[in-house]
Structures are given as C-alpha cells and as structure tokens.
Amino acid sequence: MKQEFTNRVKYDSWPPTEEERRESRRKFISKYPASLIDVPENRKLFSREELERLIPLAEKAWIESEGKLPKRYVSPVEKGE
C-alpha cells in the first residue's frame, strides 16, 4: 500500500491494474509482434483470430532481423494453438 501511495504522490496516478498492464502488453506486441516467436507466453494474450493475423507478421519481422526462424520453431497457427 505504501508503494501505491508513493506512486500516487510522485506521478499523480495510481499504479496500473493487471488488466491495464495486460492491455498495454497486447498493444506493444501488436505493434512489434516478433516476440510471439520466442516468447510463447505472449501468445496467450491474443485470440486465435488475432494470432492468425499477427503470426505471419511476427515471422516476417523475425526473418528480416535474424535471417531465418529458430530451428525448432513451429508456427502456432499451423499446429492449431
């Protein structure tokens, strides 16, 4: 509680709720989806339909930066995640 009060005084706002943190992560990953390749936990933030749109973008971004997808990577869209 003391930390929350300190945050309120220092920044004139309460700390974000869990839902606000989750939505913030979703927005960031939607903008920069490459982490969907190597951090599978991030996929849980999205529906199947959203992943079907984001995974191809993530794969493209990953290939552009790394040259190829990770050796053991299997698309969650292909395996039905």
Q: Where are the domains of the chain?
A: 16-81
- What are the phi and psi torsion angles at 59 (to 5°)? -65, -45
Asked whether 11 and 4 are in contact (CB, 8 A), the reply is no
DSSP tag of 77: T
Report pTM: 0.76
What would you measure as the largest C-alpha separation in the chain, in angstroms? 49
Sign of CA dihedral 15, 8, 28, 74: negative
pLDDT of residue 9: 66
pLDDT tens figures, 9-63: 677 777 888 999 999 999 999 999 999 999 999 999 999 999 999 999 999 999 9
